[in-house]
Structure formats: structure tokens, C-alpha cells
Structure 1
Amino acid sequence: MTTRPEPRDAWTDPGLGAIMSERRKLINLAYRMLGSLADAEDVVQETYARWYAMSAAQQEAIASPGGWLRTVASRICLDLLGSARARRENYVGEWLPEPVPDQGEWGAGPALGATSDPADRVTLDESINMAFLVVLESMTPAERVAFVLHDVFRYTFPEVAEIVGRTPVACRQLATSARRRIRAARPTATPAARRAALVRDFKLAWEAKDIEALIELLDPDATGLSDGGGLVNAAPRTVGGEQIARWLITVMGLAPDLTLLERRVNGEPGLVIQQAGTTRTVVAFDFAGDRIKQLWAVRNPEKLRPWTTP
């Protein structure tokens, strides 16, 4: 990524405030596109670098600077998505999206700057939960970009077409295909209160090493995925509620000093697992009816920076 040039002083450039106010929107856009805070930050930096590389006359000729920034960021994301697929083929183990905490719990760790600038935070809604991001990973780059821009950020299809480089009709088809993937992956919804209760009961059963209770909470066909990125140990893909329950009991037996904390992960009930006060794992869940259907355990320390206190 290009290093961002030193911006002009906001006191002498009244338009700078408006330009920089787009930062939160760009972070939110890029994170949904890429599933990685680190990559989203790089995209935003590159976007601003391109803005400041233009002359003042070129900048003044742009009718909507915010629209220009979002268009450029979207195109950078589209390019990155193609290369990301190649990178993830060489990734050690399972690749999972980078989890983010609720704003009230946003760690003061180094990931997004020691100041924890609110402009760097991801706005959490249903388009950001882990299940949604995992489905987005199954889409082609064009499908993902078209769907996120149209269905999440409400771009018109002609606007999407300009970014993706296809016709509006083609972009509509891409978004429709993406929507089918979303519906197929999540045919039913579990009420919010029930999701929170399931995670709470899961935590208590795991702490008590109650394998029967864990099996009861897990769907018989549940799947567990763990992302260590080759930097820490990560369990292989585990399928089956009983198999997952036995693995969880084994983990607790090997590391009895673990502390389990209920936290919201990407806007949904989840768990943070700490050891000696340090966050080691963030667990996100998906549900089917009254049971847990998916567990995603992110252990790669590079993806846990927002959860790490100084």
C-alpha cells in the first residue's frame, strides 16, 4: 500500500474536516468487503493517499468528495478480494474473518491506534455478524462487492456498475445470486434472547466440564472451526455436537486456568477466553432453532488486537 502523504492543516483547509469525516464510512465499507480490520485500514490509507496525491484543482473539480472516496475504496477492495483468495489458499489452517468487539468494549489495544479513535470503529449491525461474513467469504469478489454496496450501503445498481465494471443488469444478477447464498445459509432465525441464553448456558456447561449439557446445547450436526493462522495451535475442523463437546472438555482439562467471559462478538453473543489476563481466543456462534449450529474460534493473535488491553 502507498504511504499516505502528510495531510494539510485542518485550520487552513476547511474542506479537510469533511474529507476526514468519511473515515468511519470507509472503514465500515472495507471491513464488510474484506472481513479484515487490518486490510480495511490499509484500504482507507490508500484511498486517502490517492486523494492527497491530486492537486487542489483536481480535488475541487470533484462534485462529491465523499462519493469519490467510497468509489475508490470499493475498487481497491475489489482488487484485494482477488488477491486475498490466493493468499488464503496459502493460509495455515482455516481462515476466519477478524472479530470485532462492541464499541463499549473496544479494546485500547494497538490495532486501531492507542487513541481508539471513534472514526476507526466498525458500526455493528446484522450485516457484520460472523455468520454473515463467513457467507460473504463464499462469494465471488464481484458478488460480494455488488451485494455489500447495494443491499448494505444502498447504492443504486448504476452506481455499483460503475465500480464493478459491469452493466447494471449484471450487477443486479450478482446481488440476487449473493442474496440466495445468504438465505440458503441461514434459513431460520433464532430470537435474540434465546441466542444470549444459549451462549450463557454453553459457558456455564463448559466451565463445569458438563459434557452432557454441552451435547444438549449443540446441534448434532454442529461444526467447529478454529483459526490460529499458523501462529498458535488451532484444532482441526470438528463436525458433530458430541465430538465438539468432547474437544471442549479436553481443552478445559489441558488449560484449567482459562477464564470465559460473555462478550458481544460482531454484535452477537459470544465468548472471550483469557489466560492470565490475556485474551487468547474469541468465539463467535451461529444458531439453528434452540441449539448452537456453528462455533468459530479465532486464535490468531494478529486478529485479536482490538481485544487486547495494553
Structure 2
Amino acid sequence: MIDDELLATRFEADRGHLRAVAYRVLGSMSEAEDAVQEAWVRLQRSDTDAVANLTGWLTTVVGRVCLDMLRSRASRREDPLDVRVPDPVVDPDEGGDPEHEAVLADSVGLALLVVLETLTPAERLAFVLHDLFAVPFDDIAPIVGRTPAAARQLASRARKRVRGGAPVPDDLPRQREVVTAFTAAARNGDFEALLEVLDPEVVLRVDFGALNPDLTATVRGAAEVARRALLFRRPEGVSRLVLVNGGMGILTAPGGRPASVMGFTVSGGRIVAIDVLADPERVARLDLSALGLPRSGDLPAR
């Protein structure tokens, strides 16, 4: 039996990898941390003497835990068509936190996570494990309760959705230029300037959570999105440019209290998607320490 100290050392060596797997499957850093911690608990309870590849074993354990969490999440939602913007990873505009960059390696932008949210739990797990982490279908099959051939089909269906729904973003300087133009146009009430930076088929997804379901919506088309931007424009100083999953975004924090995070997908010099997380409960759990801000739930009540 491997002693506890050696087991802990080996687990810590894999923690970053396991967190990256869990974040892609769950779209939530806090839930990913919970999944990784559950994997540690299961590791402590297991006899791993016969395990030849501990990293592979832990990856499948995390996958199983994540699948259970996805299914539990789906069963709690009354309407499976509700908009759900994934929990973003937010960093300063000038550069990301090294730990965050490790989790977001291979361009895990918000656009990809949004598409993954549309998949079934089994499709999402099969795609993430196989296409992003090269886990064989023979290992994925028992996790999803399917044959290897059926697991391959799950990943194939997911792959088609991802290819059709996750546009390739422009480089960061171009993104910054476009998003800066968007914010200036919104602040100045310039409808025509907004249309200039919005793709004609732009999609705006706004997630206010269970507390404000009437405000949660999907809006399509440049004119409608521009009208929304003018309706909810913020005075200068309330918002700031940030990196959201490695792409350009905006954090609104009136009075220093984080209120919403907007992630922009800029492709071909125009904004093709805007994803807004404004769910007070989920925003309160975001780790914004890299921005010098506490979680909003840690702030004293007014």
C-alpha cells in the first residue's frame, strides 16, 4: 500500500491536470475544485497498488464525479432550455494568473464552454475526455455506461456541435480594439457605432440565474443587441476591461462590488457573441483575487 505522504505527493502532481479536466466538463471553477477534492477522497479509500497509470485512473475518477454532477445539475433545472453562461475565469487585462493559464491551456475560451453547455452530460464528458485529453474510448465507455463504439458516437456528435458553434477568435490586440469601440459606443449612446462593431448575426446570452429568471434571455441580431447595450449602458468607472477565459471581457463592479462579467467573442473584426453572467449567487463565488477584488460574497453588507 502506498503511504499517505507519497499518495498526497502524487496527487498534488496531478491536481492541475485534474482541475483542467473538471473545468472543461463542468464549466465552473468552484465545482471543478469540488470534483478534484472528491477524487482525492476516493483515492484515499482505494487500493491503488495494482494501478499502473495513476494519472489515467484519477482522470477517469474525476470524469465519473463530473458526470454525476452534470446529471444532478440537469435534474434540478425545471427548463432545460434556460440560458446558462458558464462560470468564467477572470484575469487582469494585462495578463493572466499562471494557475488560471494552466487551466485554460489549449484555448478553452468561453465560446467553447457555451457550446459544451448545449450537450448532454454524456456527450460533453466523452468529447472532453477523448478530444481534449486523449482518453481512450475503452476507458470512457464504463464511465458513461455505454460500449466503446457508443462512446465514440457520443464524442462524434459533440464534435460536430463544437465545430459549428465555436468561432475562432481574433488575436487579443484586435479583440481589445473592437471591445473598446463597443464600450465607447454604448457609453456615448451611439447606435450606429454599435452596429459597426457587431456582427449582423451576433448572439447575446444573459444569465441572471434563478433569482431573476425573467431577465435571463438570448437576443439575436445586431439591432436588438445594440438596443440592449444602450438600455443597460454604464457610466464611466463602473466597468473595466478584463480577460475572460483568455479573451476580452468586461467586469462591472459598481462601488467595488462585482455585479456581472461579460465575455466577448470577436471574430473577423466584429463581435459575434456576448455572454453575460449576472447571476448574483454565481458572481459572488467567482475568484477575482487576481483583479485585487474579493468575492462579492465576502464584502460586508450595506
The counterpart of 2:49, out of the listed 60, 66, 71, is 60
Offset, 1:122: 5.6
**CA distance in structure 2 between the partners assigned to 1:120 and 1:21 by the alignment:** 16
Aligned to 2:160, what secondary structure does the other structure show?
helix
CA contact (8 A) 2:201 2:220 kept: yes
Structure 2 runs not aligned, ≥5 long: 295-302
CA contact (8 A) 2:107 2:246 kept: no
Aligned to 2:287, what secondary structure does the other structure show?
helix
**CA distance in structure 2 between the partners assigned to 1:158 and 1:127 by the alignment:** 27
**CA distance in structure 2 between the partners assigned to 1:161 and 1:86 by the alignment:** 22
The residue that corresponds to 1:265 in the other structure is 244
TM-score (norm 2): 0.83
Q: Are positions 1:286 and 2:286 aligned together? A: no
Offset, 1:14: 2.9
CA contact (8 A) 1:198 1:291 kept: yes
Give the residue type in structure 1 aligned to 2:77.
R
Provide, for residues 106-140 of structure 1, a one-character-per-residue CA deviation record: whole Å limited to 9, x for no partner: 5xxxxxxxxxxx76876213552111111111112
Give the residue type in structure 2 aligned to 1:181.
R
The residue that corresponds to 2:152 in the other structure is 172
The counterpart of 2:191, out of the listed 211, 222, 230, is 211
Offset, 1:243: 2.0
CA contact (8 A) 1:93 1:228 kept: no
CA contact (8 A) 2:207 2:278 kept: yes
Provide, for residues 140-189 of structure 1, a one-character-per-residue CA deviation record: whole Å limited to 9, x for no partner: 22211111111101112222224333222222222221111112214x53
The residue that corresponds to 2:276 in the other structure is 297
**CA distance in structure 1 between the partners assigned to 2:54 and 2:152 by the alignment:** 26
The residue that corresponds to 2:219 in the other structure is 238
Structure 1 170/287 Cα, relative in aligned 2: closer, same or farther at 3 Å?
same
Identical-pair percentage: 37
CA contact (8 A) 1:93 1:230 kept: no
Offset, 1:40: 1.3
CA contact (8 A) 2:96 2:246 kept: no
Give the residue type in structure 2 aligned to 1:151.
D
Offset, 1:300: 1.7
CA contact (8 A) 2:27 2:86 kept: yes
**CA distance in structure 2 between the partners assigned to 1:120 and 1:66 by the alignment:** 20
Structure 1 16/125 Cα, relative in aligned 2: closer, same or farther at 3 Å?
closer
Q: Are positions 1:31 and 2:23 aligned together? A: yes
Structure 1 runs not aligned, ≥5 long: 1-7, 107-117
TM-score (norm 1): 0.81
Offset, 1:207: 2.7
Query: What is the number of residues matched between the two proteins?
Result: 284
Aligned to 2:90, what secondary structure does the other structure show?
coil
